[in-house]
Amino acid sequence: MIPSSVKVFLVGQPVDFRKGPDNLLSLMREADCDPFSGALYVFRAKRADRVKIVWCDGSGICLYAKRLENSSFCWPQIGAVRVQLNHAQLMALLEVLGWKRVRPINFRAFVSAR
């Protein structure tokens, strides 16, 4: 279960998917990120059908991996950028939806008239 307040960073460059969680976190260290901050780091393969997510939960390093059989994930253009996603965008990405269309909606809390 992923808390909605967690920071999620999507890495724009494809990585070698033979890398394990330690090597993926070392890539984040090289990019001046704190891999032990609790943030989730989302990596893509050259083929758009694979994703790996690495994070540190305080007791160890966690790795989530998903490979699609007949479709591909919706990725931003390949580049040396890091995109920050919100919780809803991450869930849309993992469900193979158009995460770029997911936007936060501001609403006012319901106030009952007494």
What is d(CA 17, CA 112) in angstroms, rounded to the nearest whole number?
Answer: 53
pTM of the model: 0.80
pLDDT tens figures, 29-81? 888 888 888 899 999 998 889 999 999 888 888 999 999 998 888 887 777 77
CB atoms < 10 A from the CB of 11, how many?
A: 21
105, exposed or middle or buried, with CB in 10 Å at 0-12, 13-18, 19+?
exposed
What is d(CA 39, CA 6) in angstroms, rounded to the nearest whole number?
Answer: 6
| Residues facing residue 85 across a β-bridge | 8
What is d(CA 93, CA 74) in angstroms, rounded to the nearest whole number?
Answer: 7
pLDDT tens figures, 80-97? 777 888 888 888 888 887
